[in-house]
A and B are shown apart, each in its own frame.
Chain A
Amino acid sequence: MIDAYRGQQLAMAQPAPTSPPQQSIAPPEYLVVLGAALLAGVTMLWNIAHSPDTQYDEVVYTKAAQQVAQNWSLTWTNSPMFVHPPLSFLAQAGWLRLLGMADAPLEHAIVAARVLTAIAMIFAFLLVGLLAAHLASKADRRRGLIIVAVVMAVSATDPVLLRYGRLAMIEPLALIAALLTLCLAMWLRDKPLLVYVPVVGLATGLTLLTKEVSAFLVFTPVVYQLLGRDWRRAGVAFAGFAWGLVLWLLFPLWAATLGLAQSFASQKFSMFERLTGLLQITGWNRPGVSFLAAVGGNAAQYATTYLMMLGGAVALVWLVLKATSGPARWLLAWLLTSYAFAAYSVLLGTLNEQFFVYLMPASIAGTVLMADALVSARVRAARGGSRRPPSALLAAGAGLVLVLGFATVGWARYYLPDNDGIFKTAAFLRTELPACSAFTTTAEASRFTNLLPGHVVRSFATEGGAVSHGVHLFVMSDKDVLGGTVTADFPSTVRSQGRMLASFDSATYRGIQLWQVPTDPYDPLADVETIPGGVFVTTTGSHCGGFPVLDGPQGSFSTGWDGLGGKAVVGPPLTTTFTTGTQPASQLFRGALLTNDGPAGVRAAQIVAALAATRPDSYQQAQFPPITRPKGGVLAQLTDPAIAAAYLRAPAGSTPTDAVAQARGRFGDPLGPATQMPDGTVRQAFAGGVFERPASSDVARLAPIGQLAIDAGLVTPPDSAGALVVPPPLPLADDDKRGPDQPTSVEPFVVSLLIGLALYIGLPAIGYELATLSRRPRPTNRQRPS
């Protein structure tokens, strides 16, 4: 095809070389292509299973592809995916089916899907090389091959192309479709409308059905013809583009067949708002995110990409200030569409990093060809007396070595070491922690929910919010935190209060860590979920299990617990409510046994004296204070202000009317003086519980006598009361909020696409046959048989 281009190009009105063609020594074309493919194969596929780290889009796209492969359902939720067209998902689904990975674990499917996109990217590099060969029309064979080799080598090591080519994203598939369309448009640029439009229109349509944002690339042929002011050919090129748009209509047609045209329109309108910048919810232009900071933050990884972008921009300016024709006009058109899109995205639109994938081929080709022109001019000017290689040539060579060297070092840094923290975190959570363990992540919850089906994953913005629901496991990455998903002090709070369970390397996310934050069982803001009739208190694991505290037929335990001070004073429940024999209903808590005393309500059962008598050894071992049966009034025995405040349920230093009587009703009388025990804690025994105040605190609470009461045989709750209860569901993450189920089958789209393609190919063939028949000479009368 290169030769075909070259032949066509030479036929153009270009000045013929004035000297005979130089005999050049150059490797065969196929060796250059093979070498470039080999290089790209290494850079794209090496260690692809372990680097880069996966991301939300890749996870959900692969999940959707698996769903399509299994049952034609194009979704990762319960509604069809209209944000992007179906073609790339169908390609991935076919690939996964071919490999037998339609129902494989998602991690494995993601790696398999990456292989397809990486291969697509390798072919995209070859197409960029092909385009460069066409554009380098004036080069002799050797220089042409050098330019092609340089373009492909720079492409194969470009950091942005590597980053997104090695992920199971839509971009590689959309890029290869767009570049193929561009090649076809160049090849057929002078062909009749009836040849150009069906071929280029089909390629355009398939590109748009892969990802609409690539529309600017497939508009390049129109711009090329407009630049040449060839209005007739511009019309033909536009007809090809419009034909592609018609083919894209299969996408909304699919939505309409599902009865979801309105939902489709709504999603597409939202996407239009995002692309035009009316709505900024992702990317570097959204409020609170600094474009320059993002560019600076990624400079170490993307330095050569930035250099190529700059080179492409300079090439664009250079060509804008020249009169162009033929290949130069193609390059100008390509750079114009690419940079117009990039400039709009940077200035006004949604600026997602992966959009640079569409810009890079033009940038690289433009930079290399401009550098070649610059070197040629310098060499021409320097010709005069030296046989030494001109300095411009040396500088260009050194620049190329620097770019490739820097890019290769970056590749080695980011893709040789394992960079799969998300997979490893998921594996750790799956194998090392109980399945019931809920965790919160600084990333989108969906990054993990699909990798860990059955696990509860949320994205709390505050440590306090997570802990309040009984969630104690935190998956954190510093990069997510910079994105503003959580409060700025979230990581420091977790790190200061918790302990790290595991840490995983991830260059992508600057490390991923799993932390566990334990809480004080008496913390009133931790582990408590409001439920009808009372609360649920998580007591085990990270939202794994606990007990409800309810107002119900067995008594107003929730009200009673609150009356005693709730979790802050009595602590969490150790059982559900229970009855034994004819005894009143009870519920055991960490600090007291609450019983339903009928008209008197729920109060602390007076078990402390019995406990001290029954199990004096355990009582003393727990450093509970002696029981001395003090004489005198209650107030006189409340010598510790904090314990007095907790007992009286009144601010320290105040004694409201009836406070003593109410306190005696709640907790019973004091059984001894407040005593500082050997562990430094001040404790005082009451009939219903033992108040304690750590030496460093001014807050008192009931010491843990609940378990001691069970061990002493004073309380024997039935097994059913001690069985952990499953906590109520956590509030849904925004990603997990679902509407009613919708039809999601992509089968109607596939059917309409196949019918469309059959007609597309079949009708012209029939038309051609009919035209041939009609042109066939009719037999004369004399030839007719009589």
Chain B
Amino acid sequence: MTGPVPGPPVTAALGGVEPLPHRQVVLRVVVVLVVLVLGLLVRFSGVLHKADPALPPLDGAAQVMPGVLRAGPASETELMLMRDSFHVSGVVAIGDVTVEERAVTKALGMQLMTIEIADVDAPSAQHVVELVRFVRSNTENGHGAVYLHDGDGSGPVLVTAAMVQLVEGMPLADVLARLTPQERAALGPAQNQALQDAAAALTGDGLPTGPYVALREVAR
């Protein structure tokens, strides 16, 4: 019986691989792990990612108060973005409202409130009362948000949003200070007067028969 026949030495086809000293192996393992951990840290710390924007990318976007945004009109995808990223559950259309907006808000499960006023007008006390109730019903648990808009973000939405701020207890001076100079300039005489009247009604300085006395019903 013949014994085993040793063949030629079998070596790996890949040339140039030699063992490393133990210390080098440990060092390289540590380096690889450190790089990996650093990468994971960067990923999960979110350092590289820009902070989520506080406002949607719309013309004239501004925060009215926590949970209330105002801006120009939004397209269908922008409405979807606001629902998904800004938790907007209620939309307030001031002035004209398109059939598309009605259909899309319905499809997106959003509530739509319309305030039909002209560009140079201010909302009535009744409008504001309904609006404040609409805002509170959407934001009361801190889950939803409300988006107010008009035709271009610089019309009656400014005075309407300012009314909401007044009702929620913000002094008129602060309300006006939060507007940009362009937005202040865009307020018409009737709108400025309406703000004065609303502020007076809410502070108790106005006549008991003033046009915005009804706001006291919902004032904070």
Stretch at the interface among A260-268, A322-330, A611-619, A753-761: A322-330
Check if A530 sits within 8 Å of B75, measured CB to CB: no
Q: List the A residue with the shortest CB-CB distance to B99.
A: A528
CB of B180 closer than 8 Å to a CB of A: no
Is the CB of B100 closer than 8 A to any CB of chain A?
yes
| B76:A144 contact, CB within 8 angstroms | no
CA distance A426 to B71 in the complex (A): 39
What A residues does B102 contact at CB under 8 A?
A: 468, 524-525
A328→B16 contact, CB < 8 A = yes
Give residues 83-113 of B contacting A (CB, 8 Å).
Answer: 84, 96, 98-100, 102-104, 106-108
For residue A134, give the distance in angstroms from its CB to the closest CB of chain B.
10
B32 nearest CB across to chain A (Å): 6
Q: How many A-B residue pairs have CB under 8 A?
A: 159
- CA A467 – CA B107 in complex, angstroms? 11
| Interchain nearest-CB distance for B75 vs A (Å) | 7
Contact partner of A320 among B32, B48, B75, B104, CB < 8 A?
B32
**Is the Cβ of B106 less than 8 Å from the Cβ of A525?**
yes
Q: How far is the CA of A384 from the CA of B107 in the complex (A)?
A: 75
Q: Are B16 and A385 in contact (CB under 8 A)?
A: no
Establish whether residues A327 and B14, one from each chain, have CB atoms under 8 Å apart when the complex forms: yes
Measured in the bound complex, the distance between the Cα atoms of B102 and A576 in whole Å is 25
Give Cα distance in the complex from A462 to B78, angstroms: 12
Interface mask (B1-15 → A, CB under 8 Å = 1, otherwise 0) = 001111111111111
Q: Please, which residues of chain B bring their CB within 8 A of the CB of A462?
A: 76, 80, 103-104, 107-108
List the B residue with the shortest CB-CB distance to A732.
Answer: B75
B173, CB-defined interface residue at 8 Å:
no
> Across the interface, which residues of A come within 8 angstroms of B14, CB to CB?
135-138, 327-328, 331, 369-370, 372-373
What's the minimum C-beta distance from B136 to chain A, rounded to whole angstroms? Answer: 25
Chain A CB within 8 A of B77 CB:
yes
Is residue A518 within 8 Å, beta carbon to beta carbon, of the partner chain?
no
Is the beta-carbon distance between B15 and A138 smaller than 8 angstroms?
yes
Q: Does A284 contact B (CB under 8 A)?
A: no
B34 within 8 A of A: no
A9 contacts partner chain B, Cβ-Cβ < 8 Å: yes
B50 adjacent to chain A (CB < 8 Å)? yes
Q: Do A322 and B77 touch across chains, with their CB atoms under 8 A apart?
A: no
Interface centre among B4, B16, B48, B76 (most CB of A within 10 A): B16
List of A residues within 8 angstroms of B39 by Cβ: 343-344, 347-348
Q: Does B43 contact A (CB under 8 A)?
A: yes
CB closest chain-A residue, reference B52: A287
Give the distance in Å from the alpha carbon of A279 to the alpha carbon of B48 in the complex: 9
Name the segment of B17-25, B138-146, B185-193, B212-220 touching the other chain: B17-25
B40 interface contact, C-beta 8 A = yes
A652 within 8 A of B: no
Q: Are B15 and A14 in contact (CB under 8 A)?
A: yes
Is A460 an interface position by the 8 A CB rule?
A: yes
CB pair A524 B99 closer than 8 Å = yes
B77→A372 contact, CB < 8 A: no
What's the nearest-Cβ distance from chain A to residue B100, in Å?
5
**Cβ-closest chain B residue relative to A462:** B107
Bound-state CA distance A147–B13 (Å) is 9
Number of residues of chain B lying within 8 A (CB) of chain A: 46
Do A276 and B25 contact each other (CB < 8 Å), given the known contacts A143-B13, A322-B18, A324-B16? Answer: no
Residues of B within 8 A of A639 (CB): none
Using known A-B contacts A321-B29, A460-B76, determine if residue A383 contacts B8 with beta carbons closer than 8 Å: no
* A321-B20 in contact (CB<8A): yes
Q: How far is the CB of A152 from chain B (nearest CB, A)?
A: 15
Q: Which of B6, B39, B103 has the most C-beta atoms of chain A within 10 angstroms of its own C-beta?
A: B103
Give complex CA distance A326, B13 in Å.
12
- Checking A144, A322, A463, A529 against B20 with a beta-carbon cut-off of 8 angstroms, the contacting residue is A322
- Asked whether A731 is an interface residue with its Cβ less than 8 Å from the other chain, the reply is yes
Whether, in the assembled complex, A33 has its beta carbon less than 8 Å from a beta carbon of chain B, the answer is: no
A460-B76, A487-B80 are contacts. A525–B12 as well, Cβ < 8 Å? no
**Residues of chain B within 8 A of A464, CB atoms compared:** 103-104, 106-107
Instruction: Please measure, in the bound complex, the distance between the C-alpha atom of A18 and the C-alpha atom of B42, giving whole angstroms.
Output: 51
A134's closest neighbor in chain B, by CB?
B15
* A278/B12 contact (C-beta < 8 A), A461-B80, A465-B100, A468-B103 known: no
Within A128-150, the residues touching B (CB, 8 Å) are 135-139, 143-144, 147
> Are A328 and B17 in contact (CB-based, < 8 A)?
yes
Closest residue of chain A to B28 (Cβ to Cβ) is A320
B109 to chain A, nearest CB (A): 9
Please name the residue on chain B nearest to A393 by beta carbon.
B10
> Which residues of the other chain, A, contact B28 by a CB distance below 8 angstroms?
320-321
Q: Determine if A734 is an interface residue (Cβ-Cβ < 8 Å).
A: yes
Cα distance A343–B6 in the bound complex, in angstroms: 44
- Contacts A372-B14, A461-B77 given; indicate if A348 touches B4 (C-beta within 8 A): no
Q: Which residues of B contact A22 (CB under 8 A)?
A: 8
Query: B13 to A373, Cβ gap below 8 A?
Result: yes
- In the assembly, what is the distance between CA of A370 and CA of B13, in Å? 9
What CA separation (Å) do A278 and B48 show in the bound complex? 6
- Closest A residue to B18 by beta carbon equals A323
| Interface residue? A319 (CB, 8 A) | yes
Q: Does A410 contact B (CB under 8 A)?
A: no
Interface stretch of the complex, out of A41-49, A374-382, A595-603? A374-382
Decide if B107 touches A731 in the complex (CB within 8 Å).
no
Whole-angstrom CA separation of A321 from B27 in the bound complex:
9
User: Which B residues lie within 8 Å of A343 (CB)?
Assistant: 36, 39
- Answer whether A136 and B13 are a contact pair too, CB < 8 Å, given A462-B104, A468-B102: yes
Contacts of B13 in A (CB 8 A): 135-139, 143-144, 147, 369, 372-373, 376
Q: Which residues in chain B, 49-92, are within 8 Å of chain A measured between CB atoms?
A: 49-50, 75-77, 80, 84
Give the contacts of A505-536 with B (CB-CB under 8 A): 524-526, 528-530, 535
Q: For A383, give its contact among B7, B25, B104 (CB under 8 Å).
A: B7
* Chain B contacts for A707, CB-based, 8 A: none
> Contact at A329–B16, with CB atoms within 8 Å?
yes
Beyond A320-B32, A468-B103, 5 additional pairs, beta carbon < 8 A: A19-B8, A348-B39, A369-B12, A462-B108, A465-B76
Query: Could you list some 9 contacts between A and B, CB below 8 A?
Result: A9-B15, A19-B8, A135-B13, A135-B14, A321-B25, A321-B29, A461-B77, A524-B99, A525-B103
Residues on A facing B (Cβ under 8 Å) = 9, 12, 14, 17-19, 22, 135-139, 143-144, 147, 276-280, 288, 317, 319-329, 331, 343-344, 347-348, 369-370, 372-373, 376-377, 379-380, 383-387, 460-465, 467-469, 487, 493, 524-526, 528-530, 535, 731, 734
Q: Which 6 residue pairs spanning A and B have beta carbons closest together?
A: A464-B107, A373-B12, A139-B13, A326-B16, A468-B103, A462-B107
